[in-house]
Amino acid sequence: GAETFTISTGTSSVSCGPEQKMLDAFLRNGVWVPNSCNQGTCGTCKVRVVRGTVDHPPAPDSVLSTAEQEQGFVLSCQTTPASDVVIDPPAEETGSPRHVLRDIAGTVGAVTSIADDTVSVTVLLDEPLEFTAGQYVELTVPETAETRPYSMANPPSEPDKLEFHIRRQPGGLATEGWIFESLDVGDPVTMSGPWGDFCYEPEEADVGLVLLAGGTGLAPLKAIARAALQDDPEREIHVYHGVRTRTELYDVDFWEGLSATYPGVRYIPCLSREQWSGRTGYVGDAMMEDLPSCRNHAAYLCGPPAMVEAGVKALKRRRMSPRRIRREKYTPAV
Ligand code: FES
């Protein structure tokens, strides 16, 4: 759409500007629509258009089935209205965050090398940001229209800064072309957020947590672990961090410190391509060796798709209820 139209859930109407995606317009106006990747690859943001016409790129069948497309479903993160539009109201889910999406500005407070090809970046915000542990922001690559998603590694109790863990991607516009090339303390940064519904659930306080991370997928799990321990310092938390080699491990001191301070925290780094004094293999297998049952646990998984899928399988084999398994597959942010 090249004009401004009104888009409505039946009960809430918001205006959607030229070229603006419907998901973006709803979230910026405080109307919650489930969302995860904002890239057209996960299907979380699908909504059914019941009135009006829309423009959207073709969606792969694995994300939006032909039957769904025939019923009028679209991916709201990829769709612009071509007239005023009414959608079916998205189902209310408990625990969905209600933070309003907005543009955010800040300056780089620190860039620290934390492992091979991995940095931690702290951005000091001009204004505090409300978010839920587990969510992410989209950083704008300077002088381009490109954005890249990065999860916050700090909890929302620190709303004036954001901590990101960023791994270099060979040839990546954002990582090689910017972050690893020139990003420095004092640089201005712009982004939008918070995005996503991979969120810490404070209501689920009576179960232990299993956190399975691959690579820099550890970032949102650090935020979740810190938020959970702020709520309950006795919380049982099993953290499995999978990387290939020792040189990719990071934040070891932080997690060892956490497990020394909080009696319920266990930290288990796992190397898949190197023998060492610690655990080897994949995080799902290590978890299965340690925990005979996950019936009374909830899980958060974040990492590459294959790691997340294997981890979900392992948790189900340990009898974890599927509704207690929350996952975020990260697409390497090139
Ligand atoms: Fe729209 Fe993932 S497909 S949020």
3-state secondary structure of 191: strand
Q: Is the pLDDT of residue 333 over 60?
A: no
pLDDT-based confidence at residue 334 (cuts at 50, 70, 90) = low
| Mean confidence (pLDDT) of the chain | 95
pLDDT-based confidence at residue 8 (cuts at 50, 70, 90) = very high
Gap from CA of 196 to ligand 1 centroid (Å): 9
What average pLDDT does range 177-203 have in this prediction? 96
Residues in contact with ligand 1 by the CB-under-6-Å rule are 35-38, 40-45, 75, 77
Residue nearest to atom 3 of ligand 1 (CA): 40
The C-alpha torsion from 232 through 233 and 236 to 238, rounded to 10°, is 120
Beta-carbon contacts of 61 under 8 Å, excluding residues fewer than 6 positions away, are none
* Domain segments of the chain as ranges: 5-87, 102-195, 208-329
Nearest residue to 266 (alpha-carbon basis) of 186, 208, 224, 185: 208
The CA distance from 15 to 85, in Å, is: 10
Q: What element of type H or E holds 147?
A: strand 147-151
Q: Is the pLDDT of residue 330 over 90?
A: no
Gap from CA of 217 to ligand 1 centroid (Å): 19
What average pLDDT does range 160-170 have in this prediction? 96
Q: What's the pLDDT at 54?
A: 97
Nearest residue to 245 (alpha-carbon basis) of 116, 99, 104: 116
The CA distance from 164 to 332, in Å, is: 14
User: 208-329 domain in CATH 3.40.50.300?
Assistant: no
Higher local confidence (pLDDT), 97 or 266: 266
Q: Which residues pair with 69 in a beta bridge?
A: none
The CA distance from 271 to 113, in Å, is: 20
Q: Are 302 and 37 in contact (CB under 8 A)?
A: no
3-state secondary structure of 46: strand
Q: Which residues pair with 13 in a beta bridge?
A: 8
pLDDT-based confidence at residue 331 (cuts at 50, 70, 90) = confident
Q: Is the pLDDT of residue 296 over 80?
A: yes
3-state secondary structure of 2: coil
Gap from CA of 93 to ligand 1 centroid (Å): 16
Q: Which CATH architecture has domain 102-195?
A: Beta Barrel (2.40)
**Other CB atoms within 10 Å distance of the CB of residue 257:** 13
Top-tier CATH class for 5-87: alpha beta
Q: What's the pLDDT at 93?
A: 66
Gap from CA of 75 to ligand 1 centroid (Å): 6
Q: Is the pLDDT of residue 227 over 80?
A: yes
Q: Which numbered atom of ligand 1 lies nearest the CA of 75?
A: 1
Q: Which numbered atom of ligand 1 lies nearest the CA of 78?
A: 1
Q: What is the pLDDT of residues 116-137, one digit of tens each?
A: 999 999 999 999 999 999 999 9
> Of 33, 41, 69, which is best to mutate to test ligand 1, by the most ligand atoms within 8 angstroms of its C-beta?
41
Q: Which numbered atom of ligand 1 lies nearest the CA of 77?
A: 1
